[in-house]
A and B are shown apart, each in its own frame.
Chain A
Amino acid sequence: MNSHDWESVIQRHLDGAALPEEVAGLSEQLESDADTRMLYIQMARIHATLAADDLDESDSDSFLRESTVFITKRPATLARWRLAVAALAVVALIAGVYFLRPSGEPEIATITELDGSVQWTGDGGQVTVDLEPGQRLHGGTLESLSVNSSAGLQFRDGSTVTVSGVSLLTISARDQKEFYLRHGNLSATVAPQPTGKPLIVHTPAAELEVLGTQFDVTADSSQTKVTVNEGRVRVERLTDGRVVEVPAAHQTVASIEVQQEFVVTALEKPTNSWKANLANEADEGRWISAMRALRLEVGRAVDNGEMTADEARQEFLARAANLREDEGSLHAAPVRSGRGARRDVSYMASLLVSREQSGPVVLAKGNKFRVRGRVRSPAGVTIGFSALDADRASGGRYLTRKRLEGEFDIELPLDAFQLLGDRSGATSPLGRELIHWWCSTDSREAVLEITSVRLLEPE
């Protein structure tokens, strides 16, 4: 790339519009080349000066006014939106490859289980929302659309795959199995594969080669976590081509940033308790730190003429100094719910338990969930979790409903939860691994906030 190309990447990065791979490449270039750093600083200072908005009014007409940095309302960020567009473009590209292939391909997998909102895109781009267990699939893209949805597939060789939470998985219909997990969670039990034709799993940050094993993958645009329960998986970090082999009862995290550690670690022993890290484990919902909430509060007071900007700063500092860094709440965000073509909306806060844990959280007799939070108006709330058996072949979603009002602090024993759907086999969550936890309401007015979630040790 020449300086013109870097200028273009720098500009996209300034607007939050660069792809993670582009930002990784830019970082590498900035680390090694002083000229690119100078170009970056010059461009970024223009952006920074305009954004910091501190030029004198007299010098630049009315459009650059006094700084309002300290007490401002946070505007919607562009970065996520742009990333979403980029992700859709990637999806469209991948989907396009499959849609353009000739029809008449063999069916390669059968749906074995379905929960919640799931759709399939295949056969020339045809989208199917009314999926049913037993339905056979050609190559295409499976989307699990909400945190409490999941789909199980069985392949002709007996291998099984479960996709859960908000996930996007493209499946190739060639004789060698290839999966493209763009984001989300995949658990697979893979039958021994033919020599020289391992199952390949592509993710944005890593490529996995599997001969026959049981493993879980969680991927997003910049990192992939691989946990191997049985067998062995070869993981290549795409940014630098480094490879590690992950044996049973071990895990690794491959980041697109080469500075991040890329090592194999042993899984910790299962525990029967969990304290949610709301900021880092949030899957649906918006984390707002207590400090930011305070800033908004004093900002509103300034807007309403209840205090001056100087008084607001003093108030902010006096109160913020006593706040803990991890203090805050997870605000429920709108998500699509309902099966098939229904387009219901609910407001959900959810947590992906495995994101921060280095060992499984296994549910035991006597466990209770303790949930704290608040609702602005009384509302019916659904609290649920998903849990899987150790072999990942079976599991379920468990729900309970409560009517909540104002500030709440509730304890929910596991037997308060009902297994969703009519299932054969084991129905108890005991002994199963906690995967997702969520809380949702259909009431927009409720403005549901979660401030703490814990799985209390069995008494």
Chain B
Amino acid sequence: MSTDNDHERFTRLLIQYEPELLRCVLVAVPNRADARDILQECSVALWRRFSEYDSERPFANWAMGFVRMEVRRFLRKSQRRAQLTERAAELLLQDEEQHAAELDERERYLKNCLDALSGDQRELLDGYYHKEHSVSELSQRNGRSVEAVYKMLQRIRLALHQCIESQMRGAEA
């Protein structure tokens, strides 16, 4: 039987590692609403099995097994929609784990690169990612076509990618 103490300990661990787990889910399932649903199901599965968790082991490693399982289950259930195959998603999650140190480093550079964006670009990212406006809403607000908004988002992410690459090269030099 779980105790209140367990409940509190689990909640604390979940709060701490939730962003990291969500990032992993979002790589295999980029749709944010789907990724949140997967994480919800995952958190319930983790809680149900929390009594088996060995606190000597890192929580994130233990939880990643559940994340993989829930991602697989989601992809199997939603096979009618445009999703990656289970095999492709599994390989991505494996590679992501293998390159964790490099990806953490890239994330630090991402913060610098975000500062280099123009006001318009930051506003668009804010609307899309933080305020979670749809592209259609953003197109109405900005007086641009839907297609133009998609293109802008893609250009901004490409610019961030190129900025990270350049900073990584600079650090190596």
Q: A-side interface residues toward B, CB under 8 Å?
A: 7-8, 11-20, 22-24, 26-28, 30-31, 34, 37-38, 40-56, 59-61, 63-65, 67, 69-70, 72, 74-79, 81, 83, 85, 220-223, 255, 257, 259-260, 279-280, 289, 291-292, 295, 310, 313-314, 317-318, 320-321, 323
Tell me, in angstroms, the Cα distance from A77 to B34 when the chains sit together.
9
**When chains A and B are docked, how far (Å) is the Cα of A260 from the Cα of B132?**
34
Whether B153 is near chain A, meaning CB under 8 Å from some CB there, is yes
Say whether B31 contacts A77, CB under 8 Å: yes
Q: Which residue of A19, A31, A46, A51 contacts B88 across the interface (Cβ within 8 Å)? A: A31
Query: With the chains together, A266 CA to B114 CA distance in Å?
Result: 57
Verify A55–B47 contact, CB threshold 8 A.
no
Task: Find out whether the CB atom of A15 lies under 8 angstroms from the CB atom of B7.
Answer: no
B129 touches A313 (CB 8 A): no
Contact status A257-B106, CB under 8 Å: no
A255 to B78, CA, bound (A): 12
- CA of A17 to CA of B85, assembled, Å: 17
B87 adjacent to A27 (CB under 8 Å) = yes
**Contact yes or no, B122 A63, CB < 8 A:** yes
- Determine if A48 and B125 form an interchain contact, defined as CB atoms under 8 angstroms apart: no
Chain B residues lying within 8 Å of A42, measured Cβ to Cβ, are 103, 106, 161, 164
Task: Using CB atoms, name the residue of chain A closest to B11.
Answer: A313
Distance to closest chain B CB from A414 (angstroms): 31
Contact A44 B158 (CB under 8 A): no
**Which chain B residues lie closer than 8 Å to A221 at the CB level?**
80-82
Question: B interface, by DSSP: helix, strand, loop or mixed?
Answer: helix
Q: How far is the CB of A229 from chain B (nearest CB, A)?
A: 24
A-B residue pair count with CB separations less than 8 angstroms: 216
The answer to whether B80 touches A220, judged by C-beta atoms less than 8 angstroms apart, is yes
With an 8 Å Cβ cutoff, the count of chain B residues facing the other chain is 69
The one of B24, B80, B129, B158 in contact with A223, judged by C-beta atoms closer than 8 angstroms, is B80
Given contacts A31-B87, A221-B80, A291-B40, contact A37 B92 (CB under 8 A): yes
Q: Is the CB of B33 within 8 A of A47?
A: no
**Residues on B close to A: CB < 8 A?**
7-8, 10-11, 14-15, 18-19, 22-24, 26-27, 30-37, 39-41, 43-44, 47-48, 77, 79-88, 91-92, 95-96, 99, 103, 106-107, 110-111, 114-115, 122, 125-126, 129-130, 132, 134-136, 146, 150, 153-154, 157-158, 160-161, 164
Q: Nearest Cβ in chain A — how far from B41, in angstroms? A: 7
B127 (CB) vs chain A CBs: closest residue: A63
Chain B residues closer than 8 Å to A323, beta-carbon distance: 44
Q: List residues of chain A with CB within 8 A of the CB of B14.
A: 70, 313
B26 touching A51, Cβ below 8 Å: yes
Q: Is the interface of A mostly helix, strand, loop or mixed?
A: helix
Q: How far, in angstroms, from A56 to B111 measured CA to CA in the complex?
A: 9
A59, B115: Cα distance in complex, Å:
8
- 10 A-B interface contacts by CB (under 8 A): A19-B82, A30-B84, A44-B26, A49-B23, A52-B26, A63-B122, A81-B134, A81-B136, A221-B82, A223-B80
* Residues in B neighbouring A74, C-beta threshold 8 A: 33, 36-37
| Nearest 9 Cβ contacts at the A-B interface | A54-B19, A48-B26, A63-B126, A30-B88, A27-B85, A27-B88, A48-B23, A11-B154, A44-B27
- Distance in angstroms between the alpha carbons of A47 and B106 in the assembled complex: 13
Complex partner residue of B103 from A45, A50, A313, CB under 8 angstroms: A45
Q: A52-B22, A222-B79, A292-B40 are in contact. List 14 more A-B contacts (CB 8 A).
A: A18-B82, A28-B85, A30-B92, A31-B88, A41-B99, A45-B103, A49-B107, A70-B18, A223-B80, A279-B77, A291-B41, A313-B15, A314-B11, A318-B7
